[in-house]
Amino acid sequence: MRFLYYDRVTGIEKGKAIVGVKAFPLSEEFFRGHFSRKALVPGVIFIEAMAQLLGWLIIYSHDFRLSAIMSLIQDVELPPALEPGFTAEIRGEIITTTKRDSLGKAEVYIEGEKIASMERIIYSHFHRIEPEELKRRFEYYSGMRA
Amino acid sequence: MRYLLVDQITEFKEGESIRGIKNVAMTEDFLEFHFPRNPVMPGVMVLEALVQIGGWLEAASSDFRNWMVIRKVTRCNYYGFAFPGDQLELEVQRTGEALYRGTALVKGKRKVKAEFEGEIIPLEEIEDVEEQRRFFRLLMRDIGL
């Protein structure tokens, strides 16, 4: 299993917003155990998808000179019982960002209908990173040029 | 990877609270990408461990009729990382109807604090009830040895 909860970045605007997509096939590893009689997408996976995409937006917005780690999430609504076989669109936006930390919010949609939302997510920034390595990973993961 | 984030249940108070353990091993699949060359247990997986042990609290408090899945996070704070080799001590209290407060600690030091809301679902719809009972006894180390 690769712990990546987006398949592609479809739009990015520096310092502002990011949009990405993620498919939820029955072959996802987390269905081994969640659950044996019925496959339900664990709600926390949507938190991870929103957090990963927004994290990249922060890194991209600071020109790959820092990395971001989630330190607080607040007011998150999640779908409790979604079955696989759909593609979700994840939209994240930065509310504020400084060298030290960032505040953002995000939403998840399936065919235009909102199924999850996160009102507040705070990231702490890390500066001991390798910019070229981060840039290379962004290009591989997002399908975009840095 | 099996999506099972509770290794042991150490204390269970019917309808009230539950405590248990999750060991973080270097072999965990999620550590390969989280993060490359800097393995730390993903924060949402710590939250998931609290949700799963909350599921065990609901199951064992309802004679295995119910399970709980998460539907809302009011607030979740991350104070520090759980690294490979750490043992996470999980504690979940039921604060109301499908309302929970959870804490994850390493060596007594708080790493994650969460307030969340669940949805109660019939256990028989998602799992084999007898198998879940047996697994709960296994987690409680009540295996007749």
**In whole angstroms, what is the distance from residue B28 CA to residue A104 CA?**
29
| pLDDT at A25 > cutoff 90 | yes
Q: Yes or no: say if B12 and B140 are a contact pair by the CB < 8 Å rule.
A: yes
| A2 within a domain of the structure (yes/no) | no
Residue B87 lies in a domain: yes
B40 C-beta neighbours (distance < 10 Å), count: 18
User: Residue B141: exposed, middle, or buried by beta-carbon count in 10 A (0-12, 13-18, 19+)?
Assistant: exposed
Q: Which residues are B21's β-sheet partners? A: B8, B89
The pLDDT of residue B36: 86
Q: Please give the average per-residue pLDDT across A2-25, as a whole number.
A: 95
pTM over 0.95: yes
**What CATH number is attached to the domain comprising A30?**
3.10.129.10
Q: Tens-digit pLDDT profile for chain B (145 aa)?
A: 789 999 999 999 999 999 999 999 999 999 998 988 899 999 999 999 999 999 999 999 999 999 999 999 999 999 999 999 999 999 999 999 999 999 999 999 999 999 999 999 999 999 999 999 999 999 999 877 6
Full domain range(s) for residue B49: 8-139
The alpha-carbon radius of gyration of chain B (Å, integer) is 15
B53 counts as catalytic: no
User: Over the stretch A75-133, which tens digit does the pLDDT of each residue have?
Assistant: 999 999 999 999 999 999 999 999 999 999 999 999 999 999 999 999 999 999 999 99
Q: Is A2 or A133 the better-scoring residue by pLDDT? A: A133
Assigned domain for A111 exists:
yes
pLDDT of residue B135: 96
Read off the amino acid at residue A68: A
Instruction: Please give the residue of chain B at the shortest CA–CA distance from A73.
Output: B76
Beta bridge partners of B120: B68
Residue B1 lies in a domain: no
Residue numbers in A near B131 (CB within 8 A) = 36
Q: Out of B7, B10, B28, B34, which one is annotated catalytic?
A: B34
State which residues form the domain around A102: 8-142
Domain count across chain B:
1
Is A3 inside any structural domain? no
User: pLDDT at residue A6 above 70?
Assistant: yes
Query: Residue B71 in contact with residue B51, Cβ under 8 Å?
Result: no
For residue B33, the chain A residue with the least C-alpha distance is A3
Which of A2, A4, A37 faces B125 most closely, judged by CB atoms? A37
Give the ipTM: 0.96
Residue whose token pair is 């000179």: A65
For residue A31, is the peptide bond before it cis, meaning its omega torsion is within 30 degrees of 0?
no
pLDDT over 90 at A18, yes or no: yes
pLDDT score recorded for residue A51: 98
pLDDT reported for residue B54 = 98
Predicted confidence at residue B145, as pLDDT, reads 66
Number of domains in chain A: 1
pLDDT band at A144 (very low <50, low <70, confident <90, very high): confident
Contacts of B39 (CB under 8 A, 6+ apart): B26, B31, B32, B83, B84
Could you tell me if residue B144 is inside a domain?
Answer: no
Average pLDDT, chain A: 96
Record the tokens describing residue A56, joined without a space. 């990249």
